Structure formats: C-alpha cells, structure tokens
Chain A
Amino acid sequence: MSRVSVQPQRGLNLSNGRVQPWISGTFHYWRSDPQLWPDILSNTKAMGFEMVETYIPWGVHEVERGRFEFGEKEPRKNLEKFIQLVHQADLKLVVRPGPHINAELTYFGYPPRIVYDPDIVAGEASGALSVHDAAPKAFGNLSYASTKLYRETALWFDALAPILKRNLHPEGPIVALQVDNETGYYFRPGAYLMDYSPDSIRWYRTFLERRYGTVQALNDTYGSGHSSFDEITPPRFFAGETLKDLPYYLDWSRYKEWQINESLRIIGGMWRERGVDGIPFFQNFYGPTDSPYNTNEAEQGAYGLDVVGLDDYQRKEVFRTTARKAAYLAGSSRLPLIPEFGSGCWSLPLWENTMTLEDQRFTTPLLFMFGLKAVNYYMLVERDRWMGSPLTSENKIRHAYFDFYRHWNAFLRKTGFHEWDLQSDLLILANYDTERLLKSLKAVESHPVHFLPEELGYAWSPSLFHYRLEEEHPRWSGNQWAYALKRHLPLRCSDTAASFEKLRGHKAAWVVTFEMMEKKAQENLRRFAEEGGTLILGPLAPSLDEHARAFSCFKELEKAPQARLGRGKAVWISQWNEATVENALQEAGIRPVMDSLPGDLLATRFTRGEKELFFFANPTGRSVEFKADRKLMPLYVGSDARQSGDSLLLHPWSVTAWEAPS
C-alpha cells in the first residue's frame, strides 16, 4: 500500500492527493530537553517549515545487545512521544534510522560493540582492518558486505520497526525514510582503499559471476586462465600495462559501486520485511558523483530506492560546485534533493569550509536556482558538536538565521516554487566512464593516516591512452562548466550512466569524451542524435567499449568533425575552442537564458504554463548592474537588489528571483 509517493520534480504525493513540497529541517530529539520539544517544533513552524527530520541513533537507544531504551527511563529517548508531538504540531517527519548515521556522534551512531568487531569491520588493501582515524575516538569502518552487520542491524530494526510502522502517514507524521546514511566507504572514495574483508571478497566474486555468467566469459575478457570465480582475487593497486589489462581493474571499481547499491537494497528490504513500507525510501551520497557513487544507477529501481540525493556543505566561494550539484540532481533524480544542506556546521573537528550565515544566504537560493526541488537543512536546532543553527539547543532564536529561513520559505510557498520547471535545452553529461577509469588507474592511494597527492597515484603508463587523462579530463570538464555558466545556457547536468529517458527533451547533449565509453552509453548518445538532438563530443570520439575492445557508435566522426546521425547530428571538438562550441550550440538552437547579460552573472529560467521566472545571481564581491531585455517584477530580492527602470543592480554575493509578466 502506497501511503506517500514521489511526485517527480515536485515533492511528496500524500495519500490525500496533496503534493507536499519537501522543505525540511533537522532536529535531534535526544539532544534537547524533552520539555523544550513542543516549543522547538513551534519555532520550526514559525520559520515556515512544514516538515522536520531526525536521525534515530541505534547506539543511543541500545542498552545492551538486543535491549533498547525508548524513554522508559530517560525522557530524551522517548522517540514515540517525539513523533506524536510532531504529528500534533501538524508537521511531517522524515526519519533516518541508520544503521549508520554519523550525526557527529563518537561512533557514528553505532553501538561501540559493532565498530570494534573484527567480523564487521572492513578490510583494507594493505591487509589491515579499516580504522576511522578520528578524534575523540578512532573506530572501525564497517563492511557493507558483512553478514554479521546485517544480523546485528536486524535486532535494531526489530525493536524500532513497530514504532515507525504505527506512525506512518496518514496515521502518523512519517512521510519518508532514509536507508542508511552517506553509504560510501566512510568518505573514502579511492578504489583501492577498501573493502577487502572476507565477506566483501565473497560479494566481489558473486558480482563477477553475475556480470560474466561463466568463468570462461571472464577469462575471455581478462585474458586470464581461472578455473573458477573463487580463484579471483581483487586488485590492490593498478599495475596494468596494456588495454587488455583494464577490465580487471575497472570491474573492481564497478563492484564497489554495486556493493553500495546492493547494501542499500538489503537494508531497504529489511524495513519492508518488517512492515515499514509505502513511503519513499531515499539515500544521500555525501557529495561526489563519480565512482563509487553511481547515483543514476542507484535510482533506477533495482535497489528499492525512490530518491538518491547528494549532501552539500560549502562556502559561497565554491559556487560553481554548488550550482553543478543542483543542476546534476535536476538532470538525474526524479526529485532533486539535498538531504543534508548545511545550516551551520559541525564543530568537531573544525572544518576548513565552515560556512557562516553569509554563505547560506547565497548558496541556499543558488541551489534552487539551478533546479533543486527538495532540501533538508541540517541542523535547524543546534546541539553538541554543531554550531550556527537558527535555534539553539535551549530553543533561543538566532534572529538573523531565523529571519533568513522565514523569508526564503515564504518565497517558496508564495510562488508555489515546486510547480515551476527549470528550462534546460542543453544537457551536460559528466563522463562516468572516464571518471571510473581514473579511479581505477591509481598505483597508490592517499590514506587518511598519510596524505599523498592524488597526482602521485597516477603512475600508469602514458602509452595506454592518447592523453594523460588525470590532466585532460578535469581541464576539459572545468572549461565546459565555466563556459556554460558564463554563457548563461539553459541547462541540466547528469552523467553517462543516465538512462536514455533522461536525455530526451533536450536540444543538445555535451559530453567530454576520450577513448573509453560503455557500449550502452555510446548507444544512448547515438540514439539521442538519431532522434533529432545535437551531440557534442571531444576531445576524442569514443573508440573502446567497457572491456577496452574496439567499439564506436561514432565512426562517422573519423572522416569529418561533424556528421548527420538520423534526424540529428554529432559534432566532434578535438581542441578546446569556444568559437567552435558556440557555433555547435547555436546550430542546435541553444540560446542564453537572456541575451546581453554580464559574464560574471549567473542566470536560469523557470516556467509554469505561460509564466516565466528568472533567477540572477551575482557571485562576486562587487555590485553588478545590467539591463534585462524584458520587464521583470521582483519576487525574491532580499534587501540587496534594486530595480531602476530597466536596470537591475545586484549587490555582491546575492541571488534574486524575478517574474516576467505574461
């Protein structure tokens, strides 16, 4: 029975037919005095929030193995009372019950007995058990393949499931559940850092068996002579010398992507087995979108996830990354969601990107400007190891923060922002295959206990590929994104793991390509062109498939830099040249969001029926004045923007929204 479902690109479809925009904020009930809970919820509503979110920490509620405390002795742990108060306050609730939660807790929310259990802790390539080298206490990074981890997690879920089940919408306030948290090797994306535990190696062999079917098929690809999958050991670093060596290493990276998603499938299934079902299940990758984080794959259905979002904590100065993340979610997810967006920052350990209210005032609207539709602000209520939230742990209001959220939420509500559509003629695709390849080419990995520069790890032979990929891929991708922003192109982003359906509807798709690209991705791109789109590739046209075998869907580009493909065409840009890019995009019918905008400015356009809404952002430290090519009415301008005749003045580091009267 579906109690709540995802309304694509809008929000949560409640069973009463109402679409609830997902704009929530975090409050950790167990970290505040329960007597304050009603007033804290009241202040949350006063900021304009209709949803709250909380972790439910296994390690806090477990008294001893299999025995749990839910408020019988300690009022702070009375989860059900908290849930009922949320319901009474007419708020909706998002729950994040782990098993991993982090939450800036010493053991990331696990009971200590779990994080020091060698049967549960992941293994490293060195043969060491994987230790999270942290203050105030180091502990084991867990293996997502550990059979024992799931057995122990089942005890926690058994205890918690009845409480959650009787409080699901509409009987209770719970409208969404997070499956685990930031599942992704504990912020260690390096291919050869982990997981080499016995359980993980067993999973690796299962993965290979599913991928190849027979060991002979694997031998044909690897050029190996294994007599069974059980003989195969995973790579600990890259030592390939020829193209034929690559699949062995790429498969390890692929396995790591699958391990994450498979783990999420199992955990989600455990909830469903216990009757916690009928509401959207989601996951939040911690930020990167390259291997082993395959967001497009994770959301495609096989893993039981309705939404996969990305977390974000950044200062305003890294606005290009923030904008890219929102545009990526807009092009990849059925509900572009940031499950953790910094409202304040953790204080232990202090972080180099600690962001202040000034950062949040800029980056929050910037995310929506580039297509975000759902967000959870982490944290609305301050507590141990967290600083800079609108409410203190004693429920005192920090007025500047409070007023910002109230103002921004009022804009979202007044405009019905979740019903507006980001206009995107252009789809920029990150090359997931190149990114996976780069992850696989590391001869040594930097480690949290000993920093090594990324570049040192790329000790592969340059004779493998035409370019040094670790230099050329980021250079081309960086140029591509900077150009798209500077030219104010109407766009979304995704990557080459996206399904064909996500390419549809765009006039052009632009992907930085080198030799290697999966056959399926090449076929999707060709089909996009054949159905009338313009496809921009380069600096090299793909010539190898995922097994490093000769394969190209774009042989026509061997003869000329442009080729007609069905009703569309492919354009090959072999040297970075803005004029060539400009020409290709113009021929594809891609026009800026608005003509004659200053290059420093960022601009996007939304529509709802005949209505148009424009965002302009000034990501610089000086004021920018410009003339819009049409009359605009201010919708969200804070106190920073000024309109004088046709001229708009944007103050430093400001985001504004304007409606064009129809």
Chain B
Amino acid sequence: MIHPDVVFEHVDINQARRFVDLSMLAQPNPHVLYVLHDKGKVLKAWDSRKGTVSVGSTLAPSVELAEELKRRHWVEEVQLIDRESYYEYLRRALDLKKARELNGYDFKDRAKDLKAAQGGGFLIHPPREKYDYYHYTDRTRGFVSQKLSPDCVFLLGAYTSEEWWVSVMTVFSGGQVVYLSTFEYFPAEKLASPASSQAHEGLMKAASSAFKKPARGMFLPREAFEDFAKNQWRGLGQTPLLSVENA
C-alpha cells in the first residue's frame, strides 16, 4: 500500500510530536509471559511486569499449555519460544526475494502472519492483531479499501478553535500511498478558521485541484481525535467522510 519512493514532506513537527505522544499512550503494551526453552528444557521465563518467574524446568508446548499459563500467571499473552524454532521462523520471515518483491508494509505483514503459523515451537497465544508505526494495519487497510478509491487524496484533520492540532494528507495513486504531508502543505490562508466547514471544504478542493484527484476528508475536534487515539478500537465513530470530486 506504500510506494517505495513515497514523498513525505511539509510535515509540521509540532503536529507530529502531538501525534506520537498520543499514539505512545495508546499503543498496545500487553502483559506478557515469555518462556524461552530449548526443545522443552526451560531456559528462562520472564513476566513483563514481574520479572523472572518459574514455570517448571520442562514443558511440552501447546495452545492448551499457553492458555493454562495465561490463566495461572494472570497475563494477557503467553509466548512459548523454542530457540531453534524461533530461528526457523526468522529464516522464513527474512526472505530477501520477498523483500525485493513486496512493499515494506506487505513484507512486515507477511512476517507477522508467519508468527501465527509456526506450530508449538514458536507460539504466541492468543495471536496479536497487527500493529505497526502507531496504527493497526489491517484496520487501516480495511478503511482504505472500503471507504477510499485507489486514486484520491485523503485529508484527516483534528482542530481546535485556533489551529490544526494534528493533520495528515495522504495521496493515493493506483492504490499506493505516493505522498504524505500535514496541512502545512497548504498556503496559510487555507488554514484559517480550522473549525469551520467552509475551511474543510476549501482544503479538500485545494487538495483535489493540486493532485487532480477526488478528495475525501474527515475533520473533527481535537478532543474527539484524542478520544479516538486512546481507544482506537472504536474507530472514528460518527465523523462523516466528506467528498469532493475532481475540483
């Protein structure tokens, strides 16, 4: 979904900082029990909140065992890692030909998918939803494929009464992201009155005109965006998706 030569410019660093700070609060940080073993001989068990714990000296890895450990240790996730199986996973995931063939996100997704296909040797229970660089990738892909067209400009802006608090403009071409910026891309006069619907429409028309593509946009108050960022499973809720066809 991302072009190798994607251009990422006109980024307001203060907006980027706000987005990063918010995302770091929201990023998944499950309570995990890691068990490293060598063909069933336990080398170390590490609870991400309590430190070293005991799970016995041997184990026979299985989903049932992982579930039992999850309950017994009151954790959200269990990882049972046989060292050689972990290496086997890395051998499969780090395929240079695939790296050349796929875009970066598809390569990452492939590596993540493989984690769920390693049997008992490298077992993550329950499987994690894919998350990378501050977003859930499958949900983002779903939004793009269901709500946007392969060739369009998408604007997302969170505003206060005085300023654009966080914003992003994404240009899609042939289904790939080819350009990214914040609203700093636009001339200053277009950024006035950020809470007004006229301003939103003006930005979309300007974007559509500049990139010669239809524009889609979602604009919401800062508070609503913060609420979304902290509870991403809710999505952007009732925020309408605005449209401007080729301006």
Contacts and interface: CB of A to CB of B under 8 A. Distances in A.
Contacts of A393: 9
Size class of A's contact patch? 35 or more
A139 B99 contact: yes
Nearest to B7: A384
Nearest to A31: B9
B13 A456 contact: no
Interface in B6-62: 6-9, 11-14, 16-17, 19-20, 23-24, 34, 36, 43-44, 46, 48, 51-52
Interface string A380-394: 001111011000010
A387 B11 contact: yes
Contact of A384 (B8, B48, B52): B8
A349 B105 CA distance: 12
B48 A453 contact: yes
A137 B104 contact: yes
Nearest to B19: A350
A137 B103 CA distance: 5
Contacts of B20: 350-352, 354
Contacts of A128: 90-91, 93-95
A124 interface: yes
A118 interface: yes
A118 B105 contact: no
A251 B24 CA distance: 39
Contact of A133 (B2, B12, B107): B107
A393 B51 CA distance: 48
A459 B42 CA distance: 10
Given A138-B102, A453-B34, A456-B44, A347 B2 contact: no
Contacts of A355: 17
Contacts, number: 145
B134 to A, nearest CB: 7
Contacts of B234: none
Interface string A328-359: 00000000000000001101111110111000
B81 A349 contact: no
Contact of A456 (B3, B36, B94): B36
Given A237-B83, A393-B9, A452-B34, A127 B107 contact: no
Contacts of B48: 453
Contacts of B115: 450
Interface in A356-379: 356
Contacts of B100: 112, 116, 139
B31 to A, nearest CB: 12
Give the interface SS of chain A, mostly helix, strand, loop or mixed: loop
B44 A459 contact: yes
Contacts of A453: 34, 46, 48
Contacts of A452: 34, 81
Interface in B171-223: 180
B227 interface: no
B152 to A, nearest CB: 19
Contacts of B23: 350
A350 B16 contact: yes
A131 interface: yes
A610 B195 CA distance: 61
B86 interface: yes
Nearest to A348: B8
Contacts of A388: 13
B87 A136 contact: no
Given A350-B133, A449-B90, A385 B99 contact: no
A121 B95 CA distance: 12
A456 B104 contact: no
A129 interface: yes
B111 interface: yes
A135 interface: yes
A444 interface: yes
Contact of B43 (A137, A345, A459): A459
B121 to A, nearest CB: 13
Contact of B17 (A136, A356, A447, A449): A356
A383 B3 CA distance: 18
Interface in A432-485: 443-444, 447, 449-450, 452-453, 455-456, 458-459
Interface in A123-145: 124-131, 133-140
Given A344-B13, A385-B9, A443 B94 contact: no
A137 to B, nearest CB: 4
A129 B94 contact: yes
Nearest to A346: B8
A112 B100 CA distance: 9
A60 to B, nearest CB: 12
A187 to B, nearest CB: 16
A106 interface: yes
Given A139-B99, A456-B34, A124 B16 contact: no
Contact of A127 (B5, B51, B87, B132): B87
Contacts of A387: 11-13, 16
A116 B111 contact: no
Contacts of A447: 90
7 contacts: A128-B90, A131-B99, A137-B99, A138-B104, A138-B108, A349-B133, A450-B115
Interface of A: 106, 112, 116, 118, 121, 124-131, 133-140, 236-237, 344-345, 347-352, 354-356, 382-385, 387-388, 393, 443-444, 447, 449-450, 452-453, 455-456, 458-459
**In the complex, the 3 A-B pairs of residues with the closest C-beta atoms, listed nearest first:** A388-B13, A135-B104, A126-B87
Given A133-B108, A140-B96, 20 more contacts: A125-B87, A133-B104, A135-B2, A136-B2, A137-B103, A139-B100, A348-B6, A350-B23, A356-B13, A382-B9, A384-B7, A387-B13, A443-B36, A444-B81, A447-B90, A450-B86, A455-B46, A455-B52, A456-B36, A459-B44
